[in-house]
Chains A and B, each alone.
Chain A
Amino acid sequence: MNIVVCINHVPDTETKVKVGSDGKSIDQAGVNYMLNPYDEFAIEAALQLKEKHGGQTLVVSLGGDAHKETLRKALAMGIEKAVLLKDTSVRDSFSIAKALAEELRAISPDCILFGKQSIDYYDEQIPGLVAEFLGMPSVSVVVKLDVKDGTVMCEREIEGGHEIVETRLPAVISAQKGLNEPRYPSLKGIMAAKTKPIEERQPAIVPPFVEVIGMNKPPGKQPGKIVGTDKSAVPELIRLLHEEAKVI
């Protein structure tokens, strides 16, 4: 099975976001980057598919040189090959997905895995866009995945439950937390990843359709009132919720 995982390099979850001087993006000072958390589930799923069905695994990321660090993490976890689609231009989900799809078309994968979303822009668009560009079925927000004789059985999360979805390979799958327990890179894996080559290519990027015209911090909430310090505060809390906030 020819398995590809598309991953992203994102500011870590502890980042305190400040708006940058351009007023449209975040201030990069002091921001640490990491492998997008949802992508870890996609990488783990790829490794498990390979262990079960055999085949090759490839990881792809689109971005600048900094993305190599994240590609190396995927290699350390056990992915065999890495490709960096080197681009630092202004783009949106559509332009990224188009570039990924062009790249993937050439290698005709059986299974393309993504994290369900990137925790920076929260678009949740790229897996579906890539699938449509490649004319493949897709299942998003997957919490259970089983492949047998080319048939893919999935469960995807919906509000208040799961949808059970059946499809055939080749297919695009986006992974949700809960799909599996991502492995930690072994020491051997980390050492091996250092010497594995990362192939660099220049993708063709189409201009974005979505233009960011400004970034702001959300209207800050002011600390409210401390109603009390023991259970005698409960009646007053209920009164406030009922009469002042009018939410119960």
Chain B
Amino acid sequence: MKILAFAEQREGKFKKSAFEVTQAARRIADKLTAELITLVIGDNIEHILPELRMYGANRVLAAQDTRLQYYSTTAYAKIVAQVAQQEQAMLLFLPASQMGKDLAPRIAAKLSAGVAADSVALRVENGDLIATRPVYAGKAMIDVRITSPIKLFTLRPNVFTAVAGNGAAIAVEKVSIQLDDVDFAAKVTGVKLTEGRPDVTEASIIVSGGRGLKGPENFHLVEKLADVLGAAVGASRAVVDAGWRPHDEQVGQTGKTVSPTLYIACGISGAVQHLAGMSTSKYIVAINKDKDAPIFQVADYGVVADVFEILPTLTEELKKTLGK
């Protein structure tokens, strides 16, 4: 049997999820004594391919084309589906990133495959691959089995560990898939990146602010702490709805569900829908002056005090500790 892992890159740089997906697929391939194929799509990607060997890839397929400089739903889906068919891959792994979540259904429709979306754990049971995935924004977890012959799994970023090993030799093969104009029916003409901080779904540390900050003008306290830690800035629904912060920072059931190693909640009470989006964080720190705030029920470390008292001190002390 063959397993196909899709390693996401943007602008000639692998996403961390590329390594997570490759390594998770490697572990499953070893358990099922299957062959692992890693697929990379883009333009100018040759120089990055060897990085994948540190994460268990030994056969790498590269689909290169100048028209693939930017992501294209239809062209990328065509390449992945055709490679899967040519190789007769039965299990496909993609990241549950904005790219992977956009791609998976189109591939699934082409291959008549079921998708276990946003999986956070995988296990082999009686030869079947069972995926655990959050539903209701993490208020519950379901275990799913896919019954179609070809099976797709998207893996939530930041959950599967990617540890660089020594790696063995890899063989790189070029993939030639005929691409026509119709494959670029939806065309990315440019990318606007917000400079600076990482995105909440990719960050290993998130500093999040809520209504306790009292106004948008006080969010610099959250931003300063985030910058000392190299963290992303998150926000509660209340402050996004109030227009204090952009919606792409919102954490919770109608925002983003995140799993960082450290989540620092500042002036966030912890509504059910917020907790749903962040309670799978490895460590949670809560700073809130209300000792009865629900956020303390999930926090590993709590400080019952005003954010205006704690944040400046915490930022200064961390600067010293981290030598910044």
Contacts and interface: CB of A to CB of B under 8 A. Distances in A.
B43 to A, nearest CB: 16
A213 B116 CA distance: 12
B142 A24 contact: yes
B298 A221 contact: yes
Nearest to B279: A221
Q: Could you say which interface size class chain B belongs to?
A: 35 or more
A15 B138 CA distance: 12
Interface string B92-107: 0000011101111110
Contacts of A231: 305, 309-310, 313
A94 interface: yes
A133 B111 CA distance: 11
A188 B193 CA distance: 43
Interface stretch (B45-53, B61-69, B184-192): B184-192
Contacts of A93: 105, 115, 117
Nearest to B151: A209
B310 A26 contact: no
Interface string B128-163: 001001111111111111111000000000000000
Contacts, number: 277
Interface string A152-168: 00011111111111111
Contacts of B272: 13-16
Interface string B102-130: 11111011101111111000000000001
A37 B262 CA distance: 28
B189 A26 contact: no
Nearest to B99: A158
B173 interface: no
B109 A132 contact: yes
Most buried by B among A163, A214, A240: A163
Nearest to B148: A209
A167 B285 contact: no
B188 A165 contact: yes
B305 A230 contact: yes
Nearest to B320: A238
A166 B135 contact: no
A66 interface: no
Contact of A122 (B109, B134, B250, B299): B134
A237 B301 contact: yes
Contacts of B118: 122-124
A242 interface: yes
A140 B102 contact: yes
Contacts of B236: none
A143 B194 CA distance: 15
Q: Is the interface of A mostly helix, strand, loop or mixed?
A: mixed
B232 to A, nearest CB: 9
B284 A221 contact: yes
A241 B185 contact: no
A127 B314 CA distance: 44
A191 interface: no
A26 B140 contact: yes
A92 B114 contact: yes
Contact of B303 (A24, A128, A229): A229
Contact of B254 (A119, A128, A233): A119
A178 B235 CA distance: 15
A241 B283 contact: yes
B82 interface: no
Contacts of A162: 191-192
5 contacts: A161-B193, A223-B297, A226-B302, A234-B313, A248-B205
Which 8 pairs show the lowest CB-CB distances between chains A and B? A209-B114, A128-B105, A132-B109, A161-B193, A224-B300, A137-B186, A17-B139, A167-B186
